[in-house]
Amino acid sequence: MRRLAAVGGALALGVLVTAAPVSLARFSASTTTGGVVTTDTIAPPTGLGASAAAGVVTLTWTPTVSTFATGYDVLRSTTSGSGFSVVSSVTPRTAVTTTNSPGTGTFYYVLQSAYQGWRSASSNQASATAGSTSTGYKNCASTLADTGGDGNGYESLPGNACVQDGSLATDASSGTNTSTSCTDAGKDRHRFWGYGFGLPATVTSVDGITVQLRAALNAITGTTVMCAQLSWDGGTSWTATKSITPTTTLTTFTLGSTSDTWGRTWTAPELGSTQFRIRVIDASSVSTRSFKLDWVGAQVSYTP
């Protein structure tokens, strides 16, 4: 629209311009939450302990205080403080024991609490020595004829029975009667000792004792047996007998085993060179039967 106006006595022509409308706006954002975000860690179990028997390690512990945990990973190593790997898992969280059969040796364990893909720090370390080890067969160092029978035991070269080399100790008869019972007082008996087993001071248990007799007869008519007994107190006390039936062929016979303790619980001192003894008893229904021994060997199986 045009308008006429007088400016200083003169006419002026002006133009009135109307501006386009402007819109002003303000944006704002706010977040409202009603929860609280917290963090937590999984606590390991405590008081881990380990013990071993017959090759099986038993682990015990106090459960984790983290109630959301679902169980535990069991980690094992043959090196103290390092080299651990998971060997099993245990559920639920309230579990307090498990077992493991690792083989022979000393093994180290830790536990970690588990929840889904998360694991806690490790528990304290515990260790146990599992499985038996053996001394290997050892030779005797001393022999002596025992009372019973004709009183001279293996009267010919008894020391030959302390080395397996084909040289023979000989008992020319089985005693003063023809009984075939090894508990009969009339049968010949002979003691062997001085076995250097070399057991470590840390022996946890004696798991078995094995005796080998390498023996033969001059003939096989009649009924003939050879028996062995063990003593733990220098020959004052003896175990029950174990027997073999030899032939005319020189043969190695095994009595006992790596898990046979001959009916008693042994301690390491009882297996010392003077305390541990083997008694060999000869019994035959033929009074002229001759017994031959090449070797009386023994080994001890034990848990360190």
Tens of pLDDT, residue by residue over 122-171, are 999 999 988 888 999 999 999 999 999 999 999 999 999 999 999 999 99
> CA 57, CA 60: separation in Å to the nearest integer?
10
> Which residues have a Cβ under 8 Å from the Cβ of 256 and sit 6 or more positions away?
208, 209, 210, 211, 242, 262
In 3D space, the residue among 270, 259, 227, 262 whose CA is nearest the CA of residue 245 turns out to be: 227
Taking Cα atoms as reference points, which of 188, 214, 184, 209 lies closest to residue 268?
209
- The reported pLDDT for the residue numbered 106 is 87
> What is the tens place of the pLDDT at every residue in 167-210?
999 999 999 999 999 999 999 999 999 999 999 888 888 989 99
The better pLDDT of the pair 2, 19 is held by: 19
CA distance 147 to 190: 8
For the stretch 276-296, pLDDT in tens is 999 999 999 998 999 999 999
Residue owning tokens 């016979």: 253
The token pair at 103 is 């083989």
The answer, as to whether pTM is greater than 0.75, is no
- pLDDT score recorded for residue 251: 97
Q: Give 3-state DSSP helix, strand, coil % of the chain, rounded to 5.
A: 5, 45, 55
